[in-house]
Structure 1
Amino acid sequence: MVCYSILKTVSAPLGHFINFLRPQVHTRGFRRNFDERFGDPHPVVLRIKGLRMMIDSGKPVESGVANVLPEKEDVIYGDFASGGWKSEDGSISCGYSSFRGKRINMEDFYDVKISKIDGKTVCLFGIFDGHGGSRAAEYLKEHLFENLMKHPQFITDTKLAISETYQKTDAEFLEAESNTFRDDGSTASTAVLVGSHLYVANVGDSRTVISKAGKAIPLSEDHKPNRSDERKRIENAGGVVLWAGTWRVGGVLAMSRAFGNRLLKQFVVAEPEIQEEEVDKELEFLVIASDGLWDVVPNEDAVSLVRTIEEPEQAARKLTETAFTRGSADNITCVVVRFHHDAPDDPVCSE
């Protein structure tokens, strides 16, 4: 996305990526393609961490979260990273792909977690697309799901827990950055699976789309300033929406909701819109991605492509490559989650 460009930091670090069980970095094809078009880019450091899987130790969540695998950090030089994971019973598999693309800096982050809370296993997937710097997106990757899993009503009232956690995490980020001159912001598009209930929450213009009986169905609506309800909310709060190449809040920010963005916080809120979907046999998979994908790949195209590729990591990589070859000028990150309904009736995120 092109927003808050006057505040962009040209030396913002890439930050840490979760490497979900099978880390792979694929740079040759992208690097060759990139070099042919744009010349030799500056190398980007991808920091990939080992999987942190949460388990229930019988204590409250605040003190009962444990790491199954020790955290480790490897530094790999390149432009592109992907990986994947599959549940032990084979009911769910996911893959991710993340590419810096034509941008100098990488400001996209993603997170995938499994946690057991009150005897229930939950799955959490998220994309965080930073603007004005990478710090807000990195903070969300580090804290958003951790905060959500600690919410006392996470299992009993998941929608309330998501809404309160989004806004609480936003306030905590602003407090943590109160002594800096930066004004980073970030989107958040997340999918939380609790039993057979899928909750999709969105702030900003990242997006989640599902394939249901072969049909592409968006489970989030981009928060753009020219959306009639968003424009009304902003103007009622005393703000303005102006055209500056695209519609922008105060003529600056090209989205109407975001984490961070202290200077526009009165108008640019972090209150999520949440949609709930029942996971049945018609629900094939979901795609969560930053706008680096959606700017050039329509929902229907993304679903059609993923339906032809069984392995979600390969599907995520193909989506990333497709967005790049279609001319996306942004960072491109996506997560593909596939539901395998022919697996035994003991799904990883069981009731």
Structure 2
Amino acid sequence: MSKTQLTEMEEEARCFLGRFVEEFPAALEEGSPLPVSPLSCKVSLEELHGESLELGLRLLAARSAPSGLSALLCQAALSQLLKNDLSPFHCLQETEANQEEEEQVVLLQSEAVQHLFLNKLIHVALAWHKDLPKLSLSTSRISHCSVHSIKNTRRKMEDKHLALAEFNQLFGIQDEVERSYYAVFDGHGGVDAAIYSATHLHVALSKEETLQSDTSMAFKAAFKHTDDMFRGKAKRERLRSGSTAVAVLIHGQELTVAWLGDSQAVLVKKGQVVTLMNPHKPEREDEKQRIEDLGGCITFIGCWRVNGTYAVSRAIGDFDQKPYVSGDADCSTIPLLGDEDYVLLACDGFFDAINPSEVPFLVLDALQQTLDPDGGRDTPPEHSEDSVRQRVAEKLVGYAKAGGSSDNITVMLVFLRPLDQLLTTGAAQAT
């Protein structure tokens, strides 16, 4: 990054901090309403990490904070929060007659402890506004991402997603490897499992000791840990939902994808699809065999279902059908050579209507319609590159809906090359 770019980012940070401290010139008063609502009423100490970061990032994003600064502010505020004695926020234990003592988990009153977290965040912002320290403000080289979601014809929206280009900054990782994280979660039977996964999976991944040496192993462990954590919440709150997931970590010159269920990630390189994964479906022969070996069965009731219930064979949650619906993720890692175009992540609402082989042609069509409405080569003046990228994601969702999908649809595009190069490559492939 050039000195000029760094100066511009520092100036952007100072401008935002100035606006932020105008809105929050002092700590929130005790008992005052929070400017953003916590996800839960009660949280375990382990869940506090993910829920605080989610709350802080949501608060800052709503105020158009630079993403790199947001990550650093939240990381600093959480570090300060965890140094506090949190015992005053403990909930009274309600032991059920059939609950064993070792299963007791200390829960915190979420609104009260998040009030403290936000005051830590305000305190850091006030300090940095007065004297901006030397910060690692440079964002990842993979920072261009667009996403679009629709409820479609379903009664509820049960998809969730997360794009985190500043993975290292958010978790205070200071090695030489840049990391960016992207994930799509497709909930069923309610949105709780999808929300939980979007809040905690990346946190669990950041804590895995093998993250720097074996990313696939770290991902698998993080999925299992998130599933185990959600089991505790589901038991406490009598939740029955589940969620498929697909997550991508771009780390250095490698890309690792991890998945549970039928959400998918597709890599496009020089206009051609590179297969990253094989989605888990009940009718997949090895999945069918695994379930039958456990004593379960696959039946067709409108679609293939595990034991006549869920239409997914692997998911976070769905504890009434574990281990038939497995919580074990699969992973794959490939090298990045610099000629990759983009990664597309989407739920099955997209892939039910769109074959992965169609993705390059649809992205090219969407780009051409947006960038070259009159057959020219120049971006229309009313369109920034960011708005063009966003329109591509919107058009892809529209293609899936027009193709007959009635499910929730979420599409995330992580661009690995400039748009003009994508157009040139795509046009060459088309001819």
Q: Give the TM-score normalised by structure 2.
A: 0.60
CA shift, 1:215, in A, is 1.2
The structural deviation recorded for 1:235 is: 1.0
Task: Evaluate the alpha carbon distance shift between residue 257 and residue 54 of structure 1 in structure 2; reply closer, same or farther with a 3 A threshold.
Answer: farther
TM-superposed CA distance for 1:318, in Å, is 1.0
Spell out, residue by residue over 1:213-272, the C-alpha distance to the aligned partner (whole angstroms, 9 max, x if none): 211233121211111111111111111111111111001111110110011012111211
Distance 1:303 1:171 in 2: 37
Q: RCO higher in 1 or 2 (8 Å CA, sep ≥ 6)? A: 1
Matched, 1:338 2:405: no
1:3-22 pair list within 5 angstroms:
none
Quick check: 1:316–1:334 contact (8 Å CA) kept in 2?
yes
Give, in whole Å, the separation in 1 of the partners of 2:280 and 2:147.
24
Q: Distance in 2 between matches of 1:313 and 1:20?
A: 22
Please name the residue that 1:118 is paired with: 174
| Range 176-185 or range 159-168, more displaced | 176-185
Task: Look up the match of 1:223.
Answer: 280
Counterpart CA distance in 2 for 1:206 and 1:90 is 25
Instruction: Note closer, same or farther for the CA distance 1:257–1:200 as it changes in structure 2 (3 Å cut).
Output: same
Q: 1:307 aligns with which of 364, 377, 393?
A: 364
3-state DSSP of counterpart to 2:400: helix
Partner of 2:350: 293
Higher fraction of helix: 2
**Compared CA separation, residues 89 and 121, structure 1 to 2 (3 A):** closer
- Asked if 2 retains the 8 angstrom alpha-carbon contact of 1:90 and 1:340, the reply is no
Q: What is the deviation of 1:282?
A: 2.8
Equivalent residue in structure 2 for 1:165, among 203, 210, 222? 222
CA-to-aligned-CA distance 1:33-89 (integer Å, 9 cap, x gap): xxxxxxxxxxxxxxx9995525887x99x979x99xx69xxxxxxxxxxxxxxx857
Is 1:270 paired with 2:327?
A: yes
Following TM superposition, where does structure 1 have runs of at least 4 consecutive aligned residues deviating by more than 6 angstroms? 16-23
When residues 223 and 303 of structure 1 are mapped into structure 2, their CA distance, relative to the original with a 3 A threshold, is same
Moved more, 134-143 or 217-226: 217-226
Relative to structure 1, the CA distance from residue 136 to residue 124 in structure 2 (aligned partners, 3 Å threshold; closer, same or farther) is: same
Assess if the C-alpha contact under 8 Å between 2:161 and 2:184 holds in 1: yes
Match of 2:253? 196
Does residue 53 of the first structure (1) align with residue 53 of the second (2)?
A: no
* 1:251 matched residue in structure 2: 308
Is the 8 Å Cα contact of residues 259 and 270 (structure 1) preserved in structure 2?
yes
SS at the partner of 2:71?
coil
CA distance in 1, matches of 2:199, 2:412: 17
Number of residue pairs the alignment of both structures matches: 287
1:8 equivalent in structure 2: none
Q: Does 1:321 align with 2:377?
A: no
Distance 2:58 2:355 in 1: 28
Letter in 1 for 2:258: A
Equivalent residues in 2 for 1:20-59, closer than 5 Å: 52-53=70-71
Alpha carbons of structure 1 residues 167 and 192: separation in structure 2 relative to 1, 3 Å: same
Change beyond 3 A, Cα 1:187–1:50: farther
Report the CA distance between 1:327 and its aligned residue. Answer: 2.2
Question: What SS does the aligned partner of 1:287 have?
Answer: strand
Taking the aligned partners of 1:322 and 1:20, their CA distance within structure 2 comes to 33
Q: The residue matched to 1:101 in structure 2 has which SS?
A: coil
Distance 1:49 1:302, change over 3 A: farther
Q: 1:307 and 1:238, CA in 2 relative to 1: closer, same or farther beyond 3 A?
A: same
Aligned to 1:10: none
Counterpart-to-counterpart distance in 1, 2:323 and 2:142: 43
Measured in 2, the distance between the counterparts of 1:276 and 1:337 equals 17
Does the 8 Å contact 1:187/1:203 carry over to 2? yes
Contact 1:20/1:112, CA 8 A, preserved across alignment: no
Of 233, 236, 239, the residue aligned with 1:179 is 236
What corresponds to 1:83 in structure 2?
none
Greater Cα shift, 147-156 or 328-337: 147-156
Distance of 2:244 and 2:394 partners within structure 1:
21
Q: Distance in 2 between matches of 1:22 and 1:133?
A: 26
Q: Which runs of 5+ in 2 are unaligned?
A: 1-38, 40-53, 84-116, 123-137, 368-384, 420-431
Per the alignment, residue 337 of structure 2 pairs with 280
Q: Which has the higher strand share?
A: 1
Partner residue of 2:104?
none
> 2:145: which partner in 1?
94
- Asked whether the 8 Å contact 1:132–1:185 carries over to 2, the reply is yes
> What SS does the aligned partner of 1:153 have?
helix
User: Alpha-carbon deviation of 1:307?
Assistant: 3.2
TM-score by length of 1: 0.73
- RMSD of the TM alignment (CA)? 3.4
Contact 2:256/2:333 (<8 A) preserved: yes
Q: Could you tell me how far apart the structure 2 residues matched to 1:22 and 1:313 are?
A: 17
Residue identity opposite 2:174 in structure 1 = D
Aligned position for 2:197: 140
Give the 3 Å change call, closer, same or farther, for CA 88–173 of structure 1 in structure 2.
Answer: closer
Answer yes or no: is 1:207 the counterpart of 2:254. Answer: no
- 2:320 counterpart SS class: helix
Aligned to 2:159, which of 83, 105, 108? 108
Give the residue type in structure 1 aligned to 2:357: E
Greater Rg, structure 1 or structure 2?
2
- Structure 2 match to 1:5: none
Q: Structure 1 stretches of 5 or more lacking a match?
A: 1-12, 24-47, 72-86, 343-351
Contact 1:101 1:331 in 2 (8 A): yes
